[in-house]
């Protein structure tokens, strides 16, 4: 669990020690948003018919 320090016998962690863990979660979330956007654009391009003039 994010707020409990297992090494110190199950006591709550200091809020200052959350930063590295939260930073990792935020970075992964950002990467997932970018990936989803790329996949969405790719799907839209493949569905759009090519117009020949």
Give domain status of residue 28, yes or no: yes
Q: Mean pLDDT across the stretch 9-28?
A: 78
Give domain status of residue 36, yes or no: yes
- How far is the C-alpha of 6 from the C-alpha of 21, rounded, in Å? 15
Give domain status of residue 3, yes or no: no
* Number of independent structural domains in the chain: 1
- Cα angle, residue 31 at apex, residues 22 and 15 outer, rounded to 5°: 5
Give domain status of residue 40, yes or no: yes
pTM exceeds 0.75: no
Higher-scoring residue by pLDDT: 7, 28: 28
Give domain status of residue 24, yes or no: yes
pLDDT at 5: 64
Domain of residue 28 covers 17-47
Give domain status of residue 32, yes or no: yes
Give domain status of residue 21, yes or no: yes
């Amino acid at each position: 669990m994010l707020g409990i320090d297992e090494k110190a016998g199950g006591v709550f962690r200091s809020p200052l020690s959350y930063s590295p863990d939260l930073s990792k979660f935020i970075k992964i979330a950002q990467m997932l948003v970018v990936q989803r956007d790329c996949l969405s654009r790719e799907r839209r391009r493949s569905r759009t018919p090519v117009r020949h003039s």
